[in-house]
Amino acid sequence: MCYKDPEKGIALLLEVMGDLKSAHGHTALEDFDHFCAYSGLSEAEVGRLAFLWTKYGYLSAWKPADETGQSTAAVSTGASHRRGDDEVAVSAFKLQVGMLLRDLPLGTVAELDDLCIAWWNGNDLVFAHLCDDNPGRIEEEFDLNDCEWHERREAFEAWLKEPKYSSRAEVRDWVLRQRQP
């Protein structure tokens, strides 16, 4: 993830989005350009850094159309199964969770569902499964891939609507150990 560098974040998002189009047939960059023209936002007025962060935020929230041409925001969460849509959704989810966690105290975890948590390690977002028989213990870390996303998408999207956090000493200790030279 590229939380301290909006240019890298923009490049990552654009790479994942590829040639996806909105319900009106526009790319994310075309929609951003329209947003700037409509709102009067310009790099010259606000400065390069503010402009890049605004662009990064806009692209993070942008939604492509589904197979029928409808905006994915207007479609139920399970309706769109295109790989590109899933990649955008996973990237957007990671960005949102990472932004929420990065400023919280060390050891704070997002309780994404009954058996899945995430935390900010100082550089990246880390996902982990909890033990089935003891949800107080972390079983293993995992990458949020298509399989995990499809299996837990509803729970993850529900978490974004009502985030739940807890504090875990073992996560705090791991992060502190990683930061030591």
Strands 108-113 and 165-167: what pairing?
antiparallel
Provide the pLDDT for residue 112: 94
56 three-state secondary structure: helix
Which one of 131-140, 146-155, 158-167 scores highest in mean pLDDT? 158-167
> Bigger pLDDT: 103 or 158?
158
Calculate the average pLDDT of the chain.
82
Both tokens assigned to 106: 């060390």
Provide the pLDDT for residue 176: 87
Provide the pLDDT for residue 2: 53
Provide the pLDDT for residue 80: 40
pLDDT at 71 over 50: no
Give residues with Cβ within 8 angstroms of 73, minimum separation 6. Answer: 63
- Written as one string, the DSSP assignment of 100-117 is HHTTSPTTEEEEEETTEE
For the full predicted model, state whether its pTM sits above 0.75.
no
Provide the pLDDT for residue 3: 61
